[in-house]
Amino acid sequence: MNQTRNTNRQVTLASRPHGAPTPDNFKFVETAVPTPADGEVLLRTIYLSLDPYMRGRMSDAKSYAEPVAIGDVMVGGSVCRIEESKNADFEKGDLVVAFGGWQDYCLSNGEGLIKLDKAMSHPSYGLGVLGMPGLTAYMGLMDIGEPKSGETLVVAAATGAVGSLVGQIGKIQGCKVIGIAGSQEKCDYAVNELGFDECLNHHADDLDQQLAKACAKGIDIYYENVGGKVFDAVLPLLNPKARIPLCGLISQYNATDLPAGPDRMPLLMSNVLVKRIKMQGFIVFDDYGHRYGEFQNAMVPWLSSGQIKYKEDIVSGLENAGSAFIGLLQGENFGKLVVHVGPEGLG
C-alpha cells in the first residue's frame, strides 16, 4: 500500500527480541491521520533513517533513553514535509528533520525540528551526512579523537554511515586512515572511492596480523563502532595517549550472554592506565546538539567541494523497514540505510 492522505501506516513493537530481532517483533498497523492542535504541525514522512541504536530501544534494559513500549511506534529520525501548520514558526510545505518514527504521519509542537532547504536536491542527506550520523562522525573524531596530521586513525565499520565519514574527515586532517569493514567489496570502496589508505576485512582469520602490519607505527585514534574481535586486534597496537571515541558496539547488540573466553577487563584497564589512553563514550545530541551549526559549517563545504563522498542504501516502502533493520544489524547494508516512505509531494 502506498502512502495516502487518509491513512497513517505505522510499524509498532510487537514484542521484545531475545538476541537478533525477527519479523515477529514488528507489527504493521493502520490508524487515522492525526489532527494538529494549536501550536502543532502535521508531519508527513518522506524518508526514515534506520540506525543500530534502535536495537537498544527494543530492549527494556536500563539505558540512556527510555525503551519503546510494546505496542508503540518504533522510534527513528525522519525527513518530513509539513502538511498542516498551526505553529507560527513553520509553514505548510516546509521540509524538516524530525524524530517521527516508523510511520507516515505524526504531530510535533516544533521542538527539535530542524528546517532544511525546501528545494534540497537530496532531502535524505538530512538523515546522514548532514544529519545525526554526520554530526556523530564529526564531533566524535574532532572533539574526542583530536586528530593531528601524521597520526594513524583506525575506523571500524568503515563504510557505514558514521565510519565512512570519520575516515574521510581523518584524511582531511592529515591522518593515515585504516578502515575495517565486512567484505572485500566494502574494503575496495573505502580505498578506491573514499580515499582510505588501507581497509581490512574483519572476517579474515589473521586480522590482528594484518592490522599490525598496516599500523607499523601503532594506532593513535581508534573510532569504535563495533567492539568484539575488532577491538581485541586494536588494543595491543594502541600508542601512549591514544584516543578512543566510543560511538557504538554493534557486534554486541544482539548478545544474550557475556562473550566467550577469558575476562578481558584486566587487560583493558591495564592498557588504559599504563598507556594513559582516553576512551570516551558519547550520546551525540545530548552532548553535541548545541554544536550542530559548527558541524554544518564544516561539512557543507566539504560535501559541496567533493572532499566528502557519501553513499546511501535506500529501501523502498515502510512495510520493508523491519526486514531492512534486521539486515542492518547483520551488516547487509552498504552505506547509510534509509527507507523511502513517501513522495516529496503528495497529490
The C-alpha atoms of residue 174 and residue 141 are separated, in whole angstroms, by: 13
The residue to which cell 530492549 is assigned: 59
Per-residue model confidence as pLDDT tens digits over 295-340: 989 999 999 999 999 989 999 999 999 999 999 988 888 889 999 9
Q: Which residues pair with 103 in a beta bridge?
A: 10
Q: What is the pLDDT of residue 261?
A: 62
SS3 313: strand
Provide the pLDDT for residue 260: 64
Task: Judge whether residue 259 has pLDDT over 70.
Answer: no
Angle formed at CA 339 by CA 334 and CA 340, multiple of 5 degrees: 120
Domains of the chain plus CATH, in order, are 7-128+310-340 (3.90.180.10), 132-285 (3.40.50.720)
- State which of 1-5, 65-69, 250-254, 339-343 shows the largest mean pLDDT: 339-343
Q: Are strands 336-340 and 41-49 parallel, antiparallel or unpaired?
A: antiparallel
**Cα 5 to Cα 42: distance, rounded to the nearest angstrom:** 11
Task: State the average pLDDT over residues 11-23.
Answer: 94
pLDDT of residue 121: 82
Mean pLDDT over each residue of the chain, to the nearest integer: 91
pLDDT in tens, 118-177: 777 889 999 999 998 999 999 999 999 999 999 999 999 999 889 999 999 999 999 999
Q: How far apart are CA 116 and CA 171, in angstroms?
A: 28
Q: Using 50, 70 and 90 to split pLDDT, how confident is the model at 255?
A: very low
pLDDT in tens, 195-230: 999 999 999 999 999 999 999 999 999 999 876 788
Residue 1: the pLDDT is 67
pTM value surpassing 0.75: yes
Q: Please give the single-letter amino acid code of residue 328.
A: L
DSSP 145: I
Beta strands in 207-320 (DSSP E): 219-223, 238-246, 278-281, 312-316
Rounded Cα distance between 64 and 329, Å, is 20
Kind plus residue range of the DSSP H or E element containing 288: helix 284-288
Q: pLDDT for 49-80, tens place per residue?
A: 999 889 989 998 887 788 999 999 999 999 99
Q: Name beta bridge partners: 47.
A: 79, 340
249 vs 314 pLDDT, higher one? 314
